[in-house]
Structure 1
Amino acid sequence: MMNAKRKTRKHAESKSNLFDADALEELSRLFHETRQTLGPQQADADWMSDPLDEWLVNLDSGETVLDRDTMAAFAVGMNETLSIRDALILSLIIDEQRCPKTQLMEFAARPHSKRNKRRMGELLTVAFEDEGIVPDKERCHAGIAMLLDIADAAPVPYCVQPLAVAAYTLWWLGDSRAVTMALQCLLLDEECSLAAMVFSAAQRGVAPAWCSG
């Protein structure tokens, strides 16, 4: 009975904290204006810095509750620029020693830099092909929980990319739920390329090398 009451209370709290679509649209307009004023690189770096700090602290500690402003920043940021989404992916599947915050910020704010493109490709290729590189499952599951909280709290289209990153992380973990989550994402947005990639890879049995190690 106590567990049931706790679950009911938690559900009610989550319902009361849903983001208003108009508020997220207004935040998106602010993001656009800041990018026009400061330029994309500086604006994206400023947008990501504090939220990424909280995200990384949670990944390290196993905490999964994000500040409301952080959740909104990620929901809007991932919807507006995929480089922010990609930085979060790398924070989950690559350890902090090889990909610290400074590098994540580079990926988020300067995705078209030749050096950053090359470094991202190197990190992903090694992690995908080296069966000795095993993901930190606790870290990944903490990230998935945060991403799903953002997706649950945000309306379409702001929920799509958090859901797609959660699906991608499940696929990276070899979790069969990745297919269902990717399909759910595609039902919301059939043009979500990350979800389509996850769905196709999972259906064809393509997985990181560690899964067959």
Structure 2
Amino acid sequence: MMNMIDETTPIPATEMDQLGEWLTEDCKSRGMEETIRAFLGEPFGRWMDFLADSPSGVDGPEGARGLSRSDILAIAVALERAMSVRDALLVSIVAGEDRSPRGFLMDFMTNPMHPDNSRRLEEILKDSFRNVSATPDDARCDSGVTMMFDIIEMVPERYQVQPLAVISYVLWWMGDERAMLCALRALALDEDCSLAAIVCSAVHRHIGPAWTSET
């Protein structure tokens, strides 16, 4: 009888490392655009669906809010290997699909150096920071943070760094004092995590997005 992997079983580092090496090699041989679209297409679609509205009838790990073990594996590996994936997932939480459609976010993940893609992502982030009317969608942010924590619970420490950094940014953007704790945890795991360092600096200097009235 074939053994089935429990959806709640933590993912071992060896499995993640092997998949990460395959992803890197496939990007080299087939190109980043084709590889990332094939690798993340379905997991990213479910990620976006849940941010908008929790999907019904989806089996996943206990508390994984719609993401299956294979979704978590793919997203965590991609987060660790490609900063464009981290940035796109971050924007998907703070900006909403009306301002950052999933088609654009996939384009950015697969081709972040294209001037149109990089400029548009920068403009979305700047607007969320500078526009006083750009207030958080609490339900969307909570869903994104929850899914990131679900990823953290399933993966080894090395793969927790970028999810923690994303969580710290989202919490900072929401005006949540726990942002610093998550950023410090990310830096404890990887002192070179730039996003976590940015959040730490912003919190320390009492800098927040425009809607919080901090400058």
- CA shift, 1:65, in A, is 3.6
Query: Do the aligned partners of 1:62 and 1:138 also contact (CA within 8 Å) in 2?
Result: no
Aligned equivalent of 1:46, options 32, 38, 41: 38
Q: Give secondary structure in 1 for the equivalent of 2:75.
A: helix
Answer 1 or 2: which has greater helix percent: 1
Any unmatched runs of 5+ in structure 2? 1-5, 56-64
Q: Hey, what does 1:118 align to over in structure 2?
A: 119
Letter of the aligned partner of 1:154 in structure 2? V
- CA shift, 1:108, in A, is 0.6
CA distance, structure 2, for counterparts of residue 25 and residue 127 of structure 1: 35
- TM-score, reference length from structure 1: 0.89
CA distance, structure 2, for counterparts of residue 130 and residue 41 of structure 1: 32
Letter of the aligned partner of 2:96 in structure 1? D
Q: Hey, what does 1:206 align to over in structure 2?
A: 207
Large movers: runs of 4+ above 2 Å: 62-65
- CA shift, 1:33, in A, is 2.3
CA distance, structure 2, for counterparts of residue 31 and residue 89 of structure 1: 21
Query: Do the aligned partners of 1:62 and 1:139 also contact (CA within 8 Å) in 2?
Result: no
**CA RMSD, aligned part only?**
1.6
Aligned equivalent of 1:27, options 11, 15, 19: 19
- CA shift, 1:168, in A, is 0.8
- TM-score, reference length from structure 2: 0.89
CA distance, structure 2, for counterparts of residue 173 and residue 135 of structure 1: 6
Aligned equivalent of 1:37, options 23, 29, 40: 29
Letter of the aligned partner of 2:142 in structure 1? H
Q: Hey, what does 1:109 align to over in structure 2?
A: 110
Any unmatched runs of 5+ in structure 1? 1-12
